[in-house]
Amino acid sequence: MSTGSGYAPGRARQQQILAEATRAFGRAGFDGVSVQEIAEACGISRQGLLHHFKSKEDLLMALLRQRDEADQELFQGVLRESGSPFRAIVAVVRANAAAPGITAMFTQLAAEAIRPEHPAHDFFHDVYTRIHHDLRATLAQMQREGTLVTTADPEKLASGLIALRDGLALQFFLRSPTQNADEMTDTLETMFSLLIA
Amino acid sequence: MSTGSGYAPGRARQQQILAEATRAFGRAGFDGVSVQEIAEACGISRQGLLHHFKSKEDLLMALLRQRDEADQELFQGVLRESGSPFRAIVAVVRANAAAPGITAMFTQLAAEAIRPEHPAHDFFHDVYTRIHHDLRATLAQMQREGTLVTTADPEKLASGLIALRDGLALQFFLRSPTQNADEMTDTLETMFSLLIA
């Protein structure tokens, strides 16, 4: 479909913009980067970028959705293969730990989005409601099938697993950002094994 | 020590300013409130307020330290009485849940403070380092005395307990801010009982 004109097709250009925005936000945070800088990194004009994404908020939402889809895909893949939602959560955390700048941005955004007027509030509300609902259903099914030993309320257990994931990420950045990310996933695995023993 | 001039002594005035700032930040967030508005709530001028606290950031730091001291006092008191760091954490979370606006502000500030250039970065780094250190020491001592059954690494266990506290607060606000705060403390207690069984 190339016209030979030197312009990348729309979808490829969008992916390039998202990749550069991810890199830039990961380095300097959402507020620390301008649309102009992301456009320059892509070798296009500010107007050229705004043709694909109407605003920096629009770009942020596209990036959040892309990251959520990647997380979901990895989670579901590991869950299908291993039958373990615990291994699936650890796999997602391990993948995200490889990009600490982005993970730091997500940790900050989720907390900022507590405010109902925040542009990402509805996104985070929906994502947290969905992952909690799905995880609770998976845990309840495992209890019915006898593959999960603990009889703890799956509603509370799902909340606890998600809380461990988020709370350990926050501590990783606040206490010891230079530590090996393996320590965080090790701690997560140890906590999971205690919870489901 | 009253001079009878109608001016509250310095320390009483500072406490009044901190109380009004706590109320205002809890309602509208740190960015949503001006020094002018807090001064008006205290019945003093902007300059009068700035005589006690040099800036809004200065006021924020005083408020953070005051809250940290109150949390520490409650934690240590319940720990001394009950001998249980788990009950002490739940007591602090329950006390904070009674002021959801302030707790929301602290949840947001801790995540914002991930950035090393944030005015509260050093404060949160120090607080997290201290509570982790103290909790680890308490858990290790309980293991030596045989009052804690689990043989899990106290380093990881301390990280997990703090992560549950922070992660459940985040979910409380993102998923269901209208729910009864008792559900959050119930979940925290259930998770603790599973971890230390």
Same domain? For B163 and B137 the reply is: yes
Same domain? For B156 and B64 the reply is: yes
Pair of tokens at residue A49: 């970028």
pLDDT of A97 higher than 50: yes
Cβ(B148)–Cβ(B178) below 8 Å:
no
Measured distance CA(B113)–CA(B131) in Å, rounded: 17
| Domain extent for B42 | 8-53
Measured distance CA(A107)–CA(A91) in Å, rounded: 18
Nearest residue on chain B to A188, alpha-carbon basis? B160
Pairwise CB contact (< 8 Å): A190 & B156? yes
Task: Nearest by CB to A168, from B150, B163, B195: name it.
Answer: B163
State the helix-helix crossing angle for B181-195 and A154-175, rounded to 10 degrees: 80
Per the listing, tokens 């103290």 go with: B134
Task: Nearest by CB to A132, from B114, B132, B175: name it.
Answer: B175
Shortest distance between the Cα of B130 and any Cα of chain A, in A, equals 10
Asked which of A33-37, A77-81, B174-178, B188-192 is least confident by mean pLDDT, the reply is B174-178
Same domain? For A63 and A94 the reply is: yes
Average pLDDT score, chain B = 89
Pair of tokens at residue B127: 């607080």
Same domain? For A48 and A68 the reply is: no
Interface test with A, best of B33, B156, B180 (most A CBs within 10 A): B156
Q: Assess if residue A1 is contained within a domain.
A: no
Written as one string, the DSSP assignment of A51-71 is HHSSSHHHHHHHHHHHHHHHH
Contacts of B170 in chain A (CB under 8 A): 110-111, 114, 163, 166-167
If one compares B15 and B27, the residue with the highest pLDDT of the two is B15
Pairwise CB contact (< 8 Å): A197 & B197? yes
Domain with residue A50: its CATH number is: 1.10.10.60
Q: Assess if residue B106 is contained within a domain.
A: yes
pLDDT of A106 higher than 60: yes
Q: Assess if residue A29 is contained within a domain.
A: yes
Q: Assess if residue A133 is contained within a domain.
A: yes
pLDDT of A3 higher than 60: no
Q: Which of B16, B37, B53 is the last residue of a domain?
A: B53
Q: If you count them, how many residues does chain A have?
A: 197
Pair of tokens at residue B16: 């009044």
Task: Nearest by CB to B167, from A114, A124, A164: name it.
Answer: A164
Q: Assess if residue B2 is contained within a domain.
A: no
Measured distance CA(B171)–CA(B168) in Å, rounded: 5
pLDDT value of position A176: 74
Tally of helices (H runs) and strands (E runs) in chain B: 9, 0
On whether any CB of chain A is under 8 Å from the CB of B62, the answer is no
CA distances from residue B123 to A77, B165, B175 in whole angstroms, order as listed? 40, 19, 28
On whether any CB of chain A is under 8 Å from the CB of B190, the answer is yes
CA distances from residue B86 to B3, B76, B96, B107, B173 in whole angstroms, order as listed? 48, 12, 16, 20, 22
If pLDDT is split at 50, 70 and 90, which confidence band does A2 have? Answer: very low
Q: Which amino acid is at B18?
A: L
Same domain? For A21 and A106 the reply is: no
Measured distance CA(B40)–CA(B112) in Å, rounded: 28
Asked which of A115-124, A127-136, A138-147, B35-44 is least confident by mean pLDDT, the reply is A115-124
What is the ipTM for the molecules in this complex? Answer: 0.88
Domain count along chain A: 2
Residue B146 sits at the vertex; the CA angle it makes with B143 and B151, to the nearest 5 degrees, is: 45
Nearest residue on chain B to A161, alpha-carbon basis? B164
Same domain? For A112 and A69 the reply is: yes
Q: Assess if residue B3 is contained within a domain.
A: no
Pairwise CB contact (< 8 Å): B174 & A115? no
Measured distance CA(A23)–CA(A4) in Å, rounded: 28
On whether any CB of chain A is under 8 Å from the CB of B34, the answer is no
Shortest distance between the Cα of B84 and any Cα of chain A, in A, equals 19
Cβ(A95)–Cβ(A74) below 8 Å:
yes
If pLDDT is split at 50, 70 and 90, which confidence band does A84 have? Answer: very high
Pairwise CB contact (< 8 Å): A114 & B168? no
pLDDT value of position B1: 45
pLDDT tens-place string over residues B119-136: 889 999 999 999 999 999
Written as one string, the DSSP assignment of A71-118 is HHHHHHHHHHHHS-HHHHHHHHHHHHHTSHHHHHHHHHHHHHTTSTTS
Contacts of B165 in chain A (CB under 8 A): 167
On whether any CB of chain A is under 8 Å from the CB of B106, the answer is no
pLDDT of B179 higher than 80: no
Pair of tokens at residue B30: 């740190």
Per the listing, tokens 């950045």 go with: A173
CA distances from residue B37 to A72, B32, B42, B186 in whole angstroms, order as listed? 45, 10, 9, 37
On whether any CB of chain B is under 8 Å from the CB of A89, the answer is no
Pairwise CB contact (< 8 Å): B194 & A152? yes
pLDDT tens-place string over residues B39-94: 999 999 999 999 999 999 999 899 999 989 999 999 999 999 999 999 999 999 99
Q: Which of A17, A34, A54 is the last residue of a domain?
A: A54
How far is Cα of residue B131 from the mean position of the Cα atoms in its chain? Answer: 12
Q: Assess if residue A155 is contained within a domain.
A: yes
Same domain? For B91 and B188 the reply is: yes
pLDDT of A4 higher than 50: no
Count of C-beta atoms within a 10 Å radius of residue A76: 12
Q: Assess if residue B12 is contained within a domain.
A: yes
Domain with residue A84: its CATH number is: 1.10.357.10
Same domain? For A14 and A39 the reply is: yes
- Inter-chain CB pairs, A–B, below 8 Å: 139
Measured distance CA(B83)–CA(A165) in Å, rounded: 28
Pairwise CB contact (< 8 Å): A114 & B107? yes
Same domain? For A88 and A157 the reply is: yes
CA distances from residue B9 to B5, B12, B19, B38, B82 in whole angstroms, order as listed? 10, 6, 16, 18, 38
Same domain? For B65 and B94 the reply is: yes
Cβ(B188)–Cβ(B169) below 8 Å:
no
Pairwise CB contact (< 8 Å): B107 & A112? no
Same domain? For A36 and A126 the reply is: no
On whether any CB of chain B is under 8 Å from the CB of A12, the answer is no
**Half-sphere exposure of A100 toward its Cβ, with a 13 Å CA cutoff?**
17
pLDDT of A86 higher than 50: yes
Same domain? For B153 and B93 the reply is: yes
pLDDT of A5 higher than 60: no
Interface test with A, best of B168, B172, B185 (most A CBs within 10 A): B168
